[in-house]
Structure 1
C-alpha cells in the first residue's frame, strides 16, 4: 500500500511539474540571469556559473536540476581609476562604492544558458542564447532590455508509470518514451542603480501542447512571468544588507512570492535566507575566494517536508562561479546583487 501511495504521489507531482515546467532555484539572487535575460552582460567581466540542485533528498524520483550559464559584456567602458581587489584599501561594498558608482555606458551583452531538469519519468533539456542592451538614463540609473531564444526537449518515459489498472484505455497508451521539441523564448527589462533594482521578465513565451498519451490527453506548456525588486542598505563601511522580493505568476496556479535577505561582509562572505511564502525557508552561504572563483550553498527546509514525512531529508543546492576577463579584479558584482 505504501509503495502504491508513493507511485500515485509521484504521478501527481510529475503531472503538476509538467504544468509549471520551470525548475525552482533557491539562489537566483546570485544569478539573476536565470530569471531575466536583460541581466546579460551587466558586469565588467564574463560571468560563468554551474549549479546542481537535488530536491527532497531521500524520495525516489524527486526533482534534480543541473544548469550552466555564461554571459559577458561587449565593448563595455568603465571609468574607474582604481581596481577593487583584496590588495586595495578601497572596499567595493563600502561607502566609496556609493561615491564612485556610475550608470552603465551604452553597451551590448551576449550569453548562453542550458539546464537539465528531471523528476520521476519526466526529463527536460533547455538551451538558449541571450542578448541585452544596457544604457544609462542619468548619472546613477541604468536600463537594460534583453531576450533569449532557444529550444526545449521534453521526454516522458511512460514505461516507468505504474498504475493499478493498466487496462484503462487512457493509461494503456502509456508505453515507450514520448518526446517533444519546441522553440523557447524569453524577454525582460531591468532597471538598476547603486541602491535599487527592479526587473520584469517572462519565460516560455511560446505556448505549446504536450501529449502525455497516444490518445487525446494533453497538458499545456505555458508562460511564466516574474517581477523582482531589491535594495542595498549600507549598515557600515564593511557590512551591507540586501533585501529583495520576487513574484512568480503562472496561469491557473497561485501567485508565489519569495522574500530574500542577504547580509554581506565586504566583498568576501555573505549569509542569507530565502523565504517562499506557503512553502518553506532556505539557508544560504557564499564565499568569494578571489577575483576568479566563488562558491555558494543553500539548504531548503520546505513545507512539503511535512507532507512527505521522514523520508524527506531536505533540498541541497550548490553553485560554482567563475569570472573571466576581470580587468578590474572585482570580487563581487557591482551592478547586480
Structure 2
C-alpha cells in the first residue's frame, strides 16, 4: 500500500504540473452545466444538482469529488424543450408530436452558482463560481446561449499526509495545511434544438503558477486551461423510447485529447439506462429514475481497464437533482440530460 501511495502522489504532482486538473464526470450528461456555464438558466425552473464521485475505490487517498450547482432563468416565460428535455404533462414526451410542435426559446438571461471540491491524497481543490448566460433563438427551431463563470480556486496541501521529508524544505517538514487561492474564469457556448445539442467550453482560463513554498523544494506547478466539446442527438425509437448518443472531448495541453462516448435509452423520461466508454480509461454503466416532478437520481459505475484495475474496485458516482419552482410540472430537466 505504501508503494501505491507514493505512486498516487507522483501522479498527483504530475497532473498539477501539466495534466488534467479538473474532475471527471461519468454522468456529465445529467449536468452539463458543471462543464459549460452557457447552460445557466436553460430550464423553466431553478435546477439544483448535488453530485458525489469516488474514483479508484479501494486505493487509499484516491480522488473524491463532490459538487453543488444551482441555476435559474430570468424573465423566461415560454415553455420550450430541447434534445435533453423531459416530458410535457399530459402527452407523450418523446412522441412525434414533440418534433412537430417544437420552437426555439425566447431571449432570456440566466444566473447560477457552482461549488466543486476535488481531493486526491494531500491535495484539495475547492472552486466556486458565479455564472451568467444569455439565450436567444437563431431560427424557428434552434437556440444559442453564451455564458461565463467568474470565481476562484483554493488549493490546499495537507503536509501531514506527505510520506517523505526533504531536508531544509519548510513545507514538506511541517504538519498542517498550506493554501493558495487563485482567480478563475470559465466560458462557453451551447447550440440546442429539439433533437440535438453542440457545446464548447473552456475552464481555468486564467493560467496561474502554484508554489506551496517560496524557498523550498515542495512540488508545485501550473494551473492550465481545460477545453471541452460535447454533442448529442436524439432518435425516436417507436413512441415510447428515445435513444440519445453523445460524445465529450476533453483537451489539456500537452496531453492527448480524451474522448467519452455515451448513450442513454430512456422510457417516457421516467426511467433510463446507459453506457459509456472513456478512451485510455475504461467503461461505465448508468441508470436513473425520476421519482416525481421535483426529484431525480442517477447512478453510474466505472470499470477501469488501465493498470490501476489491479488495485481499484472501480468508480462510483451518484447525482441527485431537485426542481424548484417547477410551474410547468416538468418531471425532469427539459434542456439537459
Structure 1 residues 298 and 171, CA, compared in 2 at 3 Å: closer, same or farther? farther
Alignment of 1:106-185 (within 5 A): 106-163=107-164, 166-168=165-167, 173-175=172-174, 176-185=176-185
Provide the C-alpha distance between the structure 2 equivalents of 1:334 and 1:86, rounded to a whole number of angstroms. Answer: 9
Query: For 2:139, what is the secondary structure of its paired residue?
Result: coil
Provide the C-alpha distance between the structure 2 equivalents of 1:42 and 1:87, rounded to a whole number of angstroms. Answer: 19
Gaps of 5+ in 2: 81-85
Structure 1 residues 326 and 209, CA, compared in 2 at 3 Å: closer, same or farther? same
Q: 2:223 aligns with which of 221, 224, 238?
A: 221
Structure 1 residues 199 and 326, CA, compared in 2 at 3 Å: closer, same or farther? same
Cα shift at 1:172: 7.5
Gaps of 5+ in 1: none
Provide the C-alpha distance between the structure 2 equivalents of 1:250 and 1:139, rounded to a whole number of angstroms. Answer: 36
Partner of 1:264: 266
Alignment of 1:57-136 (within 5 A): 57-78=57-78, 88=90, 90-136=91-137
Deviates more, 1:144-153 or 1:168-177: 168-177
Query: For 2:8, what is the secondary structure of its paired residue?
Result: helix
Cα shift at 1:215: 2.5
Provide the C-alpha distance between the structure 1 equivalents of 2:303 and 2:151, rounded to a whole number of angstroms. Answer: 33
Cα shift at 1:174: 4.8
Partner of 1:54: 54
Provide the C-alpha distance between the structure 2 equivalents of 1:85 and 1:103, rounded to a whole number of angstroms. Answer: 17
Query: For 2:296, what is the secondary structure of its paired residue?
Result: strand
Partner of 1:280: 282
Partner of 1:316: 316
Deviation >3 Å, runs of 4+:
84-87, 166-174
Partner of 2:11: 13
Structure 1 residues 291 and 76, CA, compared in 2 at 3 Å: closer, same or farther? same
Cα shift at 1:159: 3.0
Does the alignment pair 1:198 with 2:198?
Answer: yes
Cα shift at 1:86: 8.4
Partner of 2:83: none
Provide the C-alpha distance between the structure 2 equivalents of 1:24 and 1:127, rounded to a whole number of angstroms. Answer: 17
Structure 1 residues 301 and 236, CA, compared in 2 at 3 Å: closer, same or farther? same
Provide the C-alpha distance between the structure 2 equivalents of 1:37 and 1:29, rounded to a whole number of angstroms. Answer: 14
Provide the C-alpha distance between the structure 2 equivalents of 1:87 and 1:194, rounded to a whole number of angstroms. Answer: 17
Provide the C-alpha distance between the structure 1 equivalents of 2:286 and 2:241, rounded to a whole number of angstroms. Answer: 17
Q: 1:294 aligns with which of 272, 291, 296?
A: 296
Cα shift at 1:170: 6.0
More relative contact order, 1 or 2 (CA 8 Å, 6+ apart): 2
Provide the C-alpha distance between the structure 2 equivalents of 1:300 and 1:79, rounded to a whole number of angstroms. Answer: 36
Contact 2:195/2:233 (8 A) holds in 1: yes
Structure 1 residues 170 and 33, CA, compared in 2 at 3 Å: closer, same or farther? same
RMSD: 1.9
Partner of 1:252: 254
